[in-house]
Amino acid sequence: MAVLRDVGLSLKKLLQQKITELSQENSIIFESPADIEPTANPRLSIFLYQVAENTYLRNTGSEPVNTDRMRYPPLTLDLHYIFTPYHQNREIELIILERLMQVFHDNPVIRDAMLEGSLKESGNDEIRIVSNNLKLEEISQLWERFPNKAFKISISYILTPVRIPSEKEPVKVAKVKEKDIRVLVTDTVR
């Protein structure tokens, strides 16, 4: 399985279907903004800059496989992306950014036919797209990672929860076959 790759491919599919300026095959790239130059054709960099374990879903219990087997819980991640449009014309970059935000506003969850590769089979029935409102200082620090590159207008989103199944074998569990309830009655009257 290549869950992280498949999340990126799902994003690409969604954006290419919804943003006509990005419909060409090579218009959406998974490159660092440090490696991209503006061209005559519009492009969008989808850069995964942080992967973090989802602390809220970290301690979920085992999941039933069937009536007598339990699966170890998956590793659940939050994927932090920065989206940066590139074009020789600044207006086109702004149009792409605006459309991207509109697409994510109108499609806040990736599910069903939009899930690429092995996402469904790995337990990812839906992945939420959440705006990551970085402060100017945080965006500046992020752009400092790209030496010799001027700051470009960008936006950050988090895709969550992204599940990576455990490789541990399911555990056999004993089924409750009969209940034995005993009640002890004591005399409390004195």
Residue 65's pLDDT is what? 66
Pair of tokens at residue 102: 């509109």
What's the rounded mean pLDDT across residues 95-122? Answer: 95
| pLDDT at residue 146, as a whole number | 86
130 band by pLDDT with thresholds 50, 70 and 90: very high
Per-residue model confidence as pLDDT tens digits over 13-55: 999 999 999 999 899 999 988 888 888 899 999 999 999 999 8
Q: List, in sequence order, every residue forming a beta bridge with 41; answer none if it has no partner.
A: none
The pair phi, psi for residue 109, each rounded to 5°, is -135, 135
> Which residue, among 22, 12, 14, has the nearest Cα to 113 in the 3D structure?
14
Name 29's bridge partners: 45
Tell me the CATH number for domain 3-172.
3.30.2000
Report yes or no on whether pTM surpasses 0.85. no
User: Do residues 46 and 14 make contact, with C-beta atoms less than 8 angstroms apart?
Assistant: no
Residues ≥6 apart with Cβ < 8 Å to 167 = none
Give domain limits for the chain. Answer: 3-172
Sheet holding 126-131, edge to edge: 28-29, 43-53, 75-86, 155-164, 126-131, 109-111
pLDDT at residue number 175: 67
Q: Are 36 and 45 in contact (CB under 8 A)?
A: yes
How does the average pLDDT of the chain come out, rounded? 88
- Write down the H helix ranges in 32-181: 90-106, 136-143
Radius of gyration, alpha carbons of the chain = 23
Say what the pLDDT of residue 145 is.
87
Task: Work out the percent of the chain whose per-residue pLDDT is above 90.
Answer: 56
Query: Is the dihedral angle over the CA atoms 85, 86, 90, 95 positive or is it negative?
Result: negative
Q: Given the structure tokens 């010799």, which residue do they identify? A: 148
